[in-house]
């Protein structure tokens, strides 16, 4: 029986040599991979959608921007690894918002050094403080998404970012995911600005208001109001139990 220690490698080395995997496989015959999690962390800063990027301090892709991420540890699950990395990279414990698995990327050659399968996660968070620099020389920063898409991101991270953006845009249509970009309390206007930033479109405030307040159970009225700058104070809501929009909002 294989165990997680040094001896383990020798077992696999001897068994793996020249063998072709077949149905009825035995995991002791496995070709080993590195498994990492990469994070697409989106937030709203100043009405503009931003993504968390780190600047690579080592080859390959030294000096290029990359999605934050790291190895899955031997004793932790994929979701737990994503949560840990999210806390580490943002510098915030128990990051509020939303975290879900996006997809896995494992083309041979995506990392020139060795075979790496990366499980990408999508995180949506309210405006967080400026990220601290990593423990090595690499710096971390919130980068406007439109600028990130023009950069030459490391590895296949441009595609992962594109997939994450598309997932976020699609899920806003039929879910209450927009609230993940806000704090625990928010106004209808806050939500509308989320949609406008993520979709890159302008929405009619009046129809948007009627639509969202018309879904029973979606929003809970706190009874309080909030005034920001000019204009009539807005009703403050909390998340309700209902998380699906039926019928969905459309982005044409």
Partner DNA sequence: TCAATAGTGTCTGTAAGACAGTATTGT
Partner DNA sequence: ACAATACTGTCTTACAGACACTATTGA
* Residues in touch with a second copy (CB under 8 A): 1-2, 4, 6, 8-10, 12-13, 17, 20-36, 54, 57-58, 68, 70-78, 88-89, 101, 103-108, 111, 113-117, 119, 134-138, 247-248, 250
**Minimum distance from CB of 170 to a second copy (Å)?**
9
Distance CA 193, CA 228 (A): 14
Q: Which lies closer to a second copy via its Cβ, residue 22 or residue 152?
A: 22
String of DSSP letters for 126-137:
S--PPPPPPSSS
Instruction: Identify residues 71-90 at the interface with DNA (CB under 7 A).
Output: none
Q: Which lies closer to a second copy via its Cβ, residue 30 or residue 48?
A: 30
233 binds DNA (CB under 7 A): yes
Number of residues that bind DNA (CB under 7 A): 27
Task: Compute the C-alpha angle 52/53/57, nearest 5°.
Answer: 150
**Minimum distance from CB of 108 to a second copy (Å)?**
6
Distances 152 to 18, 38, 148, 185 between C-alpha atoms, Å = 38, 17, 8, 37
Residue from 129, 100, 125 nearest 181 by CA: 125
Q: Which lies closer to DNA via its Cβ, residue 19 or residue 232?
A: 232
Distances 178 to 183, 202, 228 between C-alpha atoms, Å = 11, 15, 20
Q: Which residues contact 154 (CB under 8 A, 6 or more apart)?
A: 56, 60, 61, 64, 65, 66
Which partner, DNA, a second copy, none, binds residue 57 by CB below 5 to 8 Å per kind? Answer: a second copy
Residue of 227, 238, 243, 244 interacting with DNA (CB under 7 A): 227
CB hemisphere CA count around 33 (13 angstroms): 17
Per-residue DSSP letter, 227: -
Which partner, DNA, a second copy, none, binds residue 143 by CB below 5 to 8 Å per kind? Answer: none
x/- string (CB under 7 A) for DNA, residues 174-213? -------------xxx--x-----------xxxx-xxx-x
Distance CA 18, CA 75 (A): 29
**Minimum distance from CB of 56 to DNA (Å)?**
39
Residue ranges of the alpha helices (H) in 94-246? 145-148, 157-174, 188-199, 205-213
Binding site for DNA (CB under 7 A): 187-189, 192, 204-207, 209-211, 213-214, 225, 227-235, 247, 249-250, 252
């Amino acid at each position: 029986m294989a165990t997680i220690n040094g001896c383990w490698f020798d077992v696999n080395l001897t068994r793996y040599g020249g063998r072709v995997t077949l149905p009825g496989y035995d995991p002791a015959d496995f070709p080993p991979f590195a498994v990492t999690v990469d994070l697409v962390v989106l937030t709203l800063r100043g009405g503009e959608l931003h993504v968390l990027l780190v600047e690579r301090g080592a080859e390959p892709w030294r000096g290029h921007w990359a999605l934050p991420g790291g190895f899955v540890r031997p004793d932790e699950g994929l979701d737990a690894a994503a949560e840990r990395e999210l806390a580490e990279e943002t510098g915030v414990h128990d990051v509020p918002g939303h975290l879900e698995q996006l997809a896995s990327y494992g083309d041979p050659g995506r990392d020139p050094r060795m075979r790496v399968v990366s499980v990408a996660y999508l995180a949506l968070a309210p405006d967080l403080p400026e990220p601290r620099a990593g423990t090595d020389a690499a710096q971390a920063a919130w980068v406007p998404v439109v600028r990130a898409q023009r950069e030459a991101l490391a590895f296949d991270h441009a595609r992962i970012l594109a997939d994450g953006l598309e997932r976020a845009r699609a899920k806003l249509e039929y879910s209450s995911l927009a609230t993940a970009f806000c704090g625990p309390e928010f106004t209808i206007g806050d939500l509308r600005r989320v949609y406008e930033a993520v979709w890159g479109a302008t929405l009619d405030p009046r129809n948007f208001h009627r639509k969202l307040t018309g879904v029973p159970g979606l929003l809970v009225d706190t009874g309080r109001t909030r005034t920001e700058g000019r204009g009539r104070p807005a009703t403050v809501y909390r998340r309700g139990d209902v998380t699906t929009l039926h019928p969905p909002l459309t982005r044409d």
